[in-house]
Amino acid sequence: MPDVPESTDALPPDPQFPASVPADLRAAWGAARSDEERAMALLEVAYFLEDFSKWQAAEMGEQALQYAKRSENRTLIARILLSISFALGEGARFTEAFGYLSQTIALAHTMSEEGQQILLDALCVRGTLRHNLGDEHGAQRDFLSVLSREDEAPDPITLLLARVNLVGVYATIHQPEVALHHSRLAGEQLSAIVQAHAGRGEMMRHEDHYRLGVTETRVAAFLEFARQLRRLQRPEAMHGALDEAEGLLDMAVQLAGTDDNVQQHMLLEVHAAHLKLLRDDLSGAETHARRAAALTESLGASIFPEAYLALARVLSAQECGPEAAEAYRQALDIARKCGRHRVIQEVLGELSELHEQQGDLQGALRAMREALSHAREALQVIDQAEFVAPDVTVPGSAAGGLQFTWQERLRLAEQQAQQDPLTGLLNRRGLDISLHRLHHEHAGSELPLLVALLDIDHFKSVNDRHSHTVGDSVLRTVAHLLTDTARSDTLLARYGGEEFLLAARVTDHTAAHALLERCRAVIEGYDWTPLLGDRSLTISVGYALGRPVTFASALDLADQHLYAAKQAGRNQVHPVEQALATRM
């Protein structure tokens, strides 16, 4: 048992279940008598909600986590953390998802055999998130790491899922032969699992579901192989690969049967569309692509851009330029909403080619610029993922100096997950948590909320002229200067590439403007010679202050004032003092 006293925190409020939650899960919650039972009941509700709303699933997981921490059941805490990270990742809140994964991994390292299983499950989830982000090599490392520990994995399903996901990674990075190799191994793994159950006189649960997953990924691998053969101008071999894909696709359709999993049926229609497209059957390809699009529409708030991407490719092959561009934009909208950075890059690249083929060079250039912008955004999130190490190391612990309890390791991982790894300031997740705390600390206070955006002027030229390494040093220095200048109770976060956010409770506009003017002046007055030579550095600041005020509305107004500061010549704080005087 842990060597700390039982939590004396107040009980969390009773959860508000969405109408979709079935009666048996509600009953389980009502029958729960201990914190552990309550946490387990809420975790089951979170699992159920994953098929309806990732956001609600994550919120229910958060409530389950409060009870689990009170019970101090490490296994249950780790399982809930993993559930939250998966739901957040599927909902495109990647930075938060990686933060919860860091806590899961840190906690797993404090446990024995069950901790090993949780660690492997966490690596599988992290690999899936990285794959969706476009970090294929990071995903490959995670899945291969799971497979390398085959002898240590208590649950063979984890190994199977890692192998199946690895097939998708290799297909994405255009290594179809390796993808096919792993898909064959996945089939062998599944057969071994089924036989092991039969040897115990048991039926494997969800066997058809796993068999469908293995078959579907094998179809995807053969289609990628066919594309490669087409590029190599080997038509006979390409049609042989397509014949294999078609046979497997028929098998997958039979396995899907009358299953009500709309997502799976949509994906099979997408594969059918691509198969027909490779056979130059454009009419058949369009039929399947439109079926896939209709299934996507039926999903409501979709997180699957694949159908519209397939339709765009078919329409492009039919030389229906405007319709193809519209389908690409639909795919792009969905990919952006769900943070599918890999798909975003794919769509923008093909959209650029379409514009170029139509002679619209400006449109092609816009698409490529957009692709570069989103690539930088994806790299920021990938960098955050790299910060989440497989273990949380504690200085001195290897030599037997500091010994941390599992609770302290968990708190350390949570703290790291809320920090920007480059500057040490809060990241967006840390900012959200700290703002929530600030709101409760000042509940009923008359002090208005100050929200300010501080942006480094002409920062791109710093990277272009001096290198990104120098740019990183500049960002760290600005962060240190702002931290030293602001009050100790001020929230500071790195909000974007070269953009910082400051939030605090202040007395009035005069105090707010004075604080931000000090921040501006300290950046301008700093000796940047060692880093930038003869170049100076300045920041522009926009802020909002009000009572009452919501963070979202204040942030929007601060952004408008930041734009005004930039337009007015930079290196200034907006609203300016004269404007304030006329308003007061």
The residues that are catalytic are 498
Residue 281 CA to residue 304 CA, distance in Å, equals 24
Residue 378 CA to residue 277 CA, distance in Å, equals 30
Residue 248 CA to residue 271 CA, distance in Å, equals 11
The answer for residues whose C-beta is within 8 angstroms of residue 497's C-beta and 6 or more apart is 376, 380, 459
Strand order in the sheet with 491-494: 491-494, 499-505, 449-456, 539-546, 573-574
Question: What phi-psi label fits residue 573: left (phi over 0), alpha (psi between -120 and 50 degrees) or beta?
Answer: beta
The answer for residues whose C-beta is within 8 angstroms of residue 430's C-beta and 6 or more apart is 417, 418, 419, 493
From the number of C-beta atoms within 10 Å of its C-beta (0-12, 13-18, 19+), residue 282 rates as middle
The two most distant CA atoms of the chain are separated, in Å, by 84
Q: How far is CA 4 from the centre of its chain?
A: 34
The DSSP secondary-structure symbol of 388 reads S
Are 443 and 135 within 8 A, CB to CB? no
Q: CA-CA distances (angstroms) from residue 418 to 8, 109, 428?
A: 25, 20, 8
Residue 275 CA to residue 336 CA, distance in Å, equals 26
Q: Cα angle at 220 between 217 and 222, to 5 degrees?
A: 115
